[in-house]
Amino acid sequence: MQGSNFLIAYEIHENRKEKLELITKVIHQFQGLCVQPLETSWIVKTALTPEEMFSALKTFALDDHDYLLITEISENYFGYLKGENWEIINHHIF
């Protein structure tokens, strides 16, 4: 799949459960591959720009009390995650 790899990280302050469900729905509409390695972060491979992803998340899932960071990432990574997350990251994202 063509596209760039991004880390999406966020901090939710109000209506947490509802917003987390909305964020998941929006990210799955990015027409790419995605994995949620941590509760408030996603790694996605998509042809969308950070601005397009931000706009979708801000419009449908977040408000002015929430924080959001979207940044492009490279293969230079290391961490401790569940095995199935590594499978997706190592074989489908990178």
Cα angle for residues 74, 27, 40 (degrees, 5° grid) = 70
Q: Residue 57 sits in a domain of what CATH number? A: 3.30.70.240
Q: Map residue 18 onto helix, strand or coil.
A: helix
- What pLDDT, on a 0 to 100 scale, did the predictor assign at position 2? 85
Please give the Cα distance from 46 to 43 (Å, whole number). 10
Question: Range of 38's domain?
Answer: 4-93
Q: What is the DSSP letter of 90?
A: I
Q: What average pLDDT does the segment 51-70 reach?
A: 96
Please give the Cα distance from 64 to 32 (Å, whole number). 27
The model's pTM = 0.91
Considering the chain, what is the average pLDDT of its residues?
A: 94
Neighbours of 93 (CB within 10 A): 21
